Chain A
Amino acid sequence: MKRRDFLRTTAVGAAGISLLGVPFSAAAAQSITLTILHTNDQHSRIDPIPDDGRKYGGMGGMAKRKTLIEQIRQQEQNVLLLDCGDIWQGTPYFNFFGGELEYKLMSEMKYDAATFGNHDFDNGLEGLNKMLPHASFPFLSANYDFSKTILKNRFEPYKVFEKQGVRVGVFGLGIELQGLVGDNNIGGTVYNDPVAVAREMVQELRDKQKCNLVVCLSHLGYKYDNEKIDDLKLATQVEGIDLILGGHTHTFLDEPTLVKHDSGHETLVNQVGWSGIYLGRIDFSFNKTTKKRTDMRTALLPVNIPVTTS
């Protein structure tokens, strides 16, 4: 599988840490691992995809995903579980219960945060408002302005999670709703330019919130061949995001895409198809020792490049 090649590079990265003068194993013992698990475009797929010969038949299913997540939680101390929108729409569970079960099960799985996809507006702002009490996790949205709607002050643009002293800033970006969602369902929601908003978020999370890792939950879509903003364009135009987790285009990637900036900073872009067929997993290690030597500031070192000395 192609993904394994990507992982091999990262082993070299780990070797880079040993340059500190401690053996690799000791360096590993001194590192903090952050495990990011993510989904996108679940589309109300509560039960596995019917195993009737169709593609991905038998795959997915929230009860199975829960088992998987629990297994990972037993092995890993620092887990963040995130979703990139379009939780709703696609099976009768949504048509009959309006999204109640989706939110309840995600709460059961202990999601840490999610952002909105266009289909999360399918029952309008009232429909969303009605279901929010079933979600024990926050929705993060930095570029939708709900201030003129019934959902005013209900959502934060970002949230900072702290895991063993490592600060992870997570913010959410949504797609232009006009044309995708009916006007009555958009209500007074205002869409703001994701690029400008993302730049503000990076500044806020890196400079003010002193985050070590900046993660964007995006429902913009992986890639378009026109001018429309997508995750790859966002990664290129905004420097300082470490990881963009995406959705909307239902893209399966062999491996996360790496976007490199002139400064050497790199942004990783990932997306895991749809319907919960896969659970995305990305592990980052943070070095305890070096962290102690400096103020907690942003990490602009490459995420995926070995720390070389020459």
Chain B
Amino acid sequence: MKQNASKYIGGLLLLLSLGACQRTFVASPSLTTTDVPVDTAIMADPQMEAKIAPYRQEVSVKMSEVVGIAPNALQKGDYESPLANFVTDLQIIQSKPLYSKPIDLSLTTNGGLRVPLPEGNITTGHVFELMPFENELVVLTLSGESVKQLFDYAAEKKFVAINNSTYTVAGGKATNIKINGKPLDVTQSYTLVTSDYLAGSGDGLAMLKDPVKYEKVGFLLRDAILQHIRQLTAAGKPVTAEVQNRVTILP
């Protein structure tokens, strides 16, 4: 008991001495609850719901707006696909008014295109599902050597689609590479439009890192896709893309 008392005094002295050196006692820790789940058991606040409702309504109207019609679904596939060809084509077309110089190549990957575009009505919501990220279009100026590496990577991995070019896959390597109908010249540099995500070596595209030049188009990829589909619709055209055998695979 006596020992306890001295312990108390000791404690008091310690605290006082701490006070004396101006270290006020502060936080006695009483962490009663941390990380409270916001789960389904909690009722939504009605006033907040009322504030959200008109916005939710507008989102729903905007997302269900039909922007175009696809006679056939645009699917993904190896090397090239209707979906990849559609997107890489429009990347060049939609960049042109903003990027005044010529663009030699256009690139996407299957990972960059989240879901196929369905047959029938294409809504804003479908385009958001296809491209949920805020990736923006960039134009890279690449050395001929980097371009060669890019084609080899595409030949090996199958999920990279490179537009405005043809090549032959032989033994996992790209051969007979033609850009705009002309054979690849490794001493020349080429411009390539893609998303900033892929340009930042997303999907393992390390050869795109450190390009000769990196220029932003100033257009989000999703907005480019939406605008392209709207323009097609305005011109009375459907949303289509063909697989034109840009890539030849040798056994």
Q: Which residues of A contact B (CB under 8 A)?
A: 3, 6-7, 9-11, 13-14, 16-17, 19-21, 31, 33, 46-48, 51, 58-68, 70, 89, 92-93, 95-97, 101, 104-105, 108-109, 122, 179, 182-184, 212-213, 242, 253, 255-256, 270, 272, 276-287, 290-291, 293-301, 303-305, 307, 309-310
Contact = CB atoms under 8 A, between A and B. Distances in A.
B250 interface: no
Contacts of B134: 89, 122
Contact of B10 (A17, A97, A303, A309): A309
Given A59-B40, A63-B48, A309-B11, A286 B27 contact: yes
Contacts of A300: 23
A14 B31 contact: no
Interface of B: 7-8, 10-12, 14-16, 18-20, 22-40, 42-49, 51-52, 55-56, 58-59, 62-63, 128, 134, 136, 196, 200, 216, 218
Given A64-B45, A93-B59, A108-B51, A58 B35 contact: no
Nearest to B136: A182
A179 B201 CA distance: 12
Nearest to B25: A290
A6 to B, nearest CB: 7
A14 B48 CA distance: 37
B39 A92 contact: no
A291 B30 contact: no
B24 A290 contact: yes
A94 B12 CA distance: 56
A264 to B, nearest CB: 10
Contact of B28 (A95, A101, A277, A307): A307
B216 A182 contact: yes
Nearest to A294: B19
B115 to A, nearest CB: 14
Closest A-B pairs by Cβ, 7 of them: A299-B26, A19-B11, A63-B44, A63-B48, A66-B45, A294-B19, A309-B11
B52 A283 contact: no
21 contacts: A6-B34, A7-B32, A11-B30, A20-B15, A48-B38, A63-B46, A64-B44, A68-B36, A101-B55, A109-B48, A270-B34, A279-B38, A283-B30, A285-B27, A290-B25, A291-B24, A293-B19, A294-B19, A297-B22, A305-B29, A309-B7
A60 B38 contact: yes
Given A20-B11, A66-B45, A290 B19 contact: yes
Contact of B30 (A46, A60, A284): A284
A46 B25 contact: no
B28 A299 contact: no
Nearest to B125: A92
A256 B218 CA distance: 41
B40 A17 contact: no
A89 B16 CA distance: 51
Contacts of A283: 30-33
B51 A285 contact: no
Given A63-B48, A67-B43, A298 B23 contact: yes
Contacts of B37: 59, 277-278
A205 B50 CA distance: 40
Contact of B24 (A62, A65, A93, A296): A296
Contact of A65 (B8, B23, B38): B38
B42 A68 contact: yes
Contact of A299 (B14, B16, B23, B32): B23
A14 B28 contact: yes
Most chain A CB within a 10 A radius of its CB, from B12, B25, B128: B25
Contacts of A212: 24, 26-27
Most chain B CB within a 10 A radius of its CB, from A33, A68, A184, A304: A68
Contacts of A31: 28
Given A63-B45, A64-B44, A70-B45, A301 B23 contact: yes
Contacts of A7: 31-34
Given A278-B37, A282-B34, A10 B29 contact: yes
A307 B24 contact: no
A19 B19 contact: no
Contacts of A63: 44-46, 48-49, 52
Given A105-B48, A294-B19, A16 B43 contact: no
